[in-house]
Structure 1
């Protein structure tokens, strides 16, 4: 058990997570939830605590997985951090961290706690998707954590645009050139675009909806059909709206600034009604 300062004269304790912390930890996570993402459930939290991979349902294979909380003297949970060691390269991984974002010192103290526990080794932060969220820290909405990472010597690595679209304003329409089927591997829905004679044009894969939200995982078009991407996306969104899906999100790798305005796929999504909510960044700190 560690006692440390976080904020002006604020004595707090950093200790192992226990089940009595669940409701307060879920509240911290809910405060950080991005538009278009479902509420973190108890099952999702339990999977994250156990190190379960969200795609396969199998353990990550990490070593020394631990989740610690920062608690005030009156029992209030001010932050939570989960980290482990990756056997393949002996690097530490910061899997997830949530705290009161208005107090950067809390994030800084949790990051300092992690670094002290992991010793002298490379640390990767937010570079793995968990049962709770995508990989990447939303730097616009999590500025306290972002600044705390950079002050601790972490540098930004990969970046994705987090795009969001509300579908509950779309009007259902008849479909003549697209159909939706359920996919088992990977689990989700496939929307296939075809010619009237049945010739395949392309398809989109979305995750199974949770609380009326889904994720656009990928879109593919047959060779020579790239100009029909807007029709495929339009049909995909219309199919989802017709099935009471209210919100959809997708991630787009962010190109260099000089190329961003010429990114045709990003432009396609923006034309279809998606809006950038935030950018997700991964981080690395070398010893």
Structure 2
């Protein structure tokens, strides 16, 4: 980190938010921890675990999920927005990528997803990034998936678009409450830890004769929630593939998974949440429901 950045870290940087309110943006301090965790909790989507101090600390240290080493960022910053009373009403994590100097807006949360507060934080980050290309919500962190939930956090989406950001292709966030499943007769299943990923389960579904019916990888459950990373099923000519998927889900429910999330591709111009494509239809028939769409954003100079 250069000397000017260190100096700025020590000083309080003020940003005026117009006549509606006075918002000050300053560097994050340890005493802000609880307030920032509350802001993150307010934006939590169904099927996602509560963010803990350790998880937030992992992000503040500049680490990627599952990584002990810092990511390739320069000048990584965490700043908070405070109102006249000193209450933390927003927080933003950002940095500059070492290899090309592009700006990275990693995460942002603000009180009630207030568009004005989000705008203050976005403009603050852009001022530091100067004329660089900036990528927003383009990478996962220990506290979130990649992509901004554009439906649940409309204020932040509007603030980004008003600041010159363009929405990119992202992911449809589907959710299933497995504890609501009826008991189903199902085939034999094997669940083992993934050899290549200690944070996940490798799941194999087979019939009583040992014939392979499908495979899947599921993230290790946290507080009864997990992510279906990928799945492949044996072809079903009668279109009953969703029954095999339902059998997977029943097994996971038996093993303490109460909520399951899956991310499917979603184009930037398709945000109506409608059914499109056989993969989405398969999941919907098995009981998944779209909660939101997650989209990264890019702003070019």
TM-score by length of 1: 0.93
Match of 1:207 in 2: 219
Distance in 2, Cα, partners of 1:103 & 1:8: 15
| Structure with more strand by fraction | 1
Judge which range, 30-39 or 194-203, deviates more: 194-203
CA shift, 1:57, in A, is 3.7
CA shift, 1:18, in A, is 0.7
Distance in 1, Cα, partners of 2:18 & 2:223: 37
CA shift, 1:2, in A, is 2.1
Q: Determine helix, strand or coil for the equivalent of 2:14.
A: strand
Distance in 1, Cα, partners of 2:79 & 2:195: 36
Distance 1:184 1:57, change over 3 A: farther
CA shift, 1:184, in A, is 3.8
Q: Determine helix, strand or coil for the equivalent of 2:48.
A: coil
* Matching residue within 34, 46, 55 for 1:35: 46
CA shift, 1:173, in A, is 4.7
Q: Is the 8 A contact 1:53 1:60 kept in 2?
A: yes
Q: Determine helix, strand or coil for the equivalent of 1:216.
A: strand
Q: Determine helix, strand or coil for the equivalent of 2:217.
A: strand
Distance in 1, Cα, partners of 2:213 & 2:256: 25
Distance in 1, Cα, partners of 2:181 & 2:213: 23
Match of 1:219 in 2: 231
Distance 1:198 1:159, change over 3 A: same
Q: Is the 8 A contact 1:204 1:232 kept in 2?
A: no
CA shift, 1:264, in A, is 0.5
CA shift, 1:225, in A, is 6.0
Match of 2:98 in 1: 87
User: In the TM superposition, what whole-angstrom CA distance separates every residue of 1:205-226 from its partner, at most 9, and x where no partner exists?
Assistant: 111111111111100246x568
Does the alignment pair 1:276 with 2:290?
Answer: yes
User: In the TM superposition, what whole-angstrom CA distance separates every residue of 1:133-156 from its partner, at most 9, and x where no partner exists?
Assistant: 000000001111000000000000
Please list, as runs of the form range in 1=range in 2, the aligned pairs for 1:121-270 lying within 5 A after superposition.
121-173=132-184, 175-186=186-197, 187-221=199-233, 229-255=241-267, 257=270, 261-270=275-284
User: In the TM superposition, what whole-angstrom CA distance separates every residue of 1:218-256 from its partner, at most 9, and x where no partner exists?
Assistant: 00246x568664243112210111122211111000157
Judge which range, 20-29 or 79-88, deviates more: 79-88
Match of 2:36 in 1: 25
Q: Is the 8 A contact 1:101 1:143 kept in 2?
A: no
* Matching residue within 24, 41, 57 for 1:46: 57
CA shift, 1:175, in A, is 4.3
CA shift, 1:158, in A, is 1.5
Match of 1:285 in 2: 299
Distance 1:45 1:115, change over 3 A: same
Q: Determine helix, strand or coil for the equivalent of 1:135.
A: coil
Please list, as runs of the form range in 1=range in 2, the aligned pairs for 1:38-77 lying within 5 A after superposition.
38-77=49-88
Distance 1:9 1:169, change over 3 A: closer
TM-score by length of 2: 0.88
User: In the TM superposition, what whole-angstrom CA distance separates every residue of 1:162-214 from its partner, at most 9, and x where no partner exists?
Assistant: 00010111244564332222224212122212233223232111111111111
Cα RMSD for the two superposed structures: 2.0
Distance in 2, Cα, partners of 1:205 & 1:165: 16
CA shift, 1:52, in A, is 0.9
Q: Is the 8 A contact 2:75 2:95 kept in 1?
A: yes
- 5+ residue gaps, structure 1, are none
Q: Determine helix, strand or coil for the equivalent of 1:69.
A: strand
